[in-house]
Amino acid sequence: MRGMFLLHLTVLLLETQNFILSSIETMLKLISVSILLLLTAFSTINFGGTVISVSDGDTITVLKADKTSVKIRLEGIDCPEGKQDFGTRAKQATSQLCYGKKVRVRKSGEDRYGRTLAMVYVGDLCLNKELLRQGMAWHYKKYNKDPKLARLENKARAAKIGLWAMGNAVAPWEFRRVKK
């Protein structure tokens, strides 16, 4: 009787050990797949390259290392349109800050035109924030709720920097609406 009990106990322990090993193996596979997915997602969201074109104050084109180009709409800001007061100055400011330079792109999504929405960095300088700081853009509150961007616009307004030196600055979305 004691022998049967030990036999059953041994079988039960072996089955438990196999179950635990199988569970650990499955868990390791899941962790490996999760890490791979995270690394893949991270590499597609963040990338570097060189700015090869500045379309306007808030739209640039970046050439990646693999020689593909990506049109970037600067997240959270809206610069004056080309035919609007300060439109040319905003484009010039963007060009001076990033044209021909290496940048890091932190993608946040895509706009309705298929452009990559992103925060763009030239070294440690965030291009989006710098344009607000220089008074070359509005914080695009309709699509972005970042309080830091709102504060930067408010500081530039209060100091009457850039387009805020004009008393009658018209927001680009208003300019586009009236133009239609």
Just list the catalytic residues. Answer: 73, 81, 115
Residue 50: beta bridge partners?
63, 102
Q: Return all residues near 143 (Cβ < 8 A) that are at least 6 apart.
A: 76
The answer for residues whose C-beta is within 8 angstroms of residue 113's C-beta and 6 or more apart is 73
Q: Which helix (H) or strand (E) holds 94?
A: helix 87-98
How far, in whole angstroms, is CA 171 from its chain's centroid? Answer: 23
Extract the tokens encoding 99: 């044209």
